[in-house]
Amino acid sequence: MPDELVPTPRGSYAKGVARRQEILDRAIEVFARRGSDRTSLRAIAEEVGVTHAALRHYFGSLEELLVAVYRASEARGGADDHDDPEATPIELMRDWTESNREVQGLVQLYSTLVATALEVGHPAAREFATERFSRTRADLAERVRRNQRAGRIRPDVDPLAVAALVIAASDGLQTQWLLDPDAPQDAALALLEVLLSAPGARSNRALGNSQP
């Protein structure tokens, strides 16, 4: 006799997924506007327009919510959506910098998560930061290898080391900008580009600007 099929509450599950995404979309707007300073699940629930119980149902802690918000904001799209696979890491950083200026609150949220990851007792933030750094290093290192083959980045530098340096520069410049909007981000990126460029190489951006 065949096993009886157990009905699955697909409708309820789908509604739950949609409701969670709706909350995330609202939370992204809140954090993009004001960052994550002096906040709590109860305060976020009030700003998002849901009950504290509803927020705790979908996100067990403030830390889990912050990670989910940042990941969802990345999934929405950003500089990566119009990324040229042949662009150098520095050109990519310029795109990130321009995009981040429009969402200062989310930049501050990212910095908060990375700082929290260094503290004991914050597994969600630590997992987020560790995985993101590892993935970004691997992606940027592969980009560096392509640039080296194309003669755009000097061949005597280790791709993984360059990737780690670019991440450090990106996060450090981002932090300086949050504290002081006049920090010389563009000049620092231009200097890093000079240090990494192969002799005689010019960036796509510079070539584009030189066209009549």
pLDDT exceeds cutoff 50 at 194 = yes
Say which residues have a Cβ less than 8 Å from residue 94's Cβ, sequence separation at least 6.
186, 189, 205
Question: What is the Cα–Cα distance from 182 to 28, expressed in whole angstroms?
Answer: 26
Average pLDDT over residues 27-32: 81
Find the helix packing angle between 62-76 and 123-149, rounded to 10°.
30
Q: Which of 92-96, 160-164, 170-174, 205-209 has the lowest mean pLDDT?
A: 205-209
Distances (CA, A) of 99 to 8, 116, 131, 145, 197: 42, 24, 22, 25, 24
Q: How confident is the model at residue 12 (pLDDT cuts 50, 70, 90)?
A: low
pLDDT digits (tens, 9 = 90+) for 110-149: 998 999 999 999 999 999 999 999 999 999 999 999 999 9
Question: Cα-flanking dihedrals φ and ψ of residue 153, to 5°?
Answer: -120, 140
Q: How confident is the model at residue 37 (pLDDT cuts 50, 70, 90)?
A: low
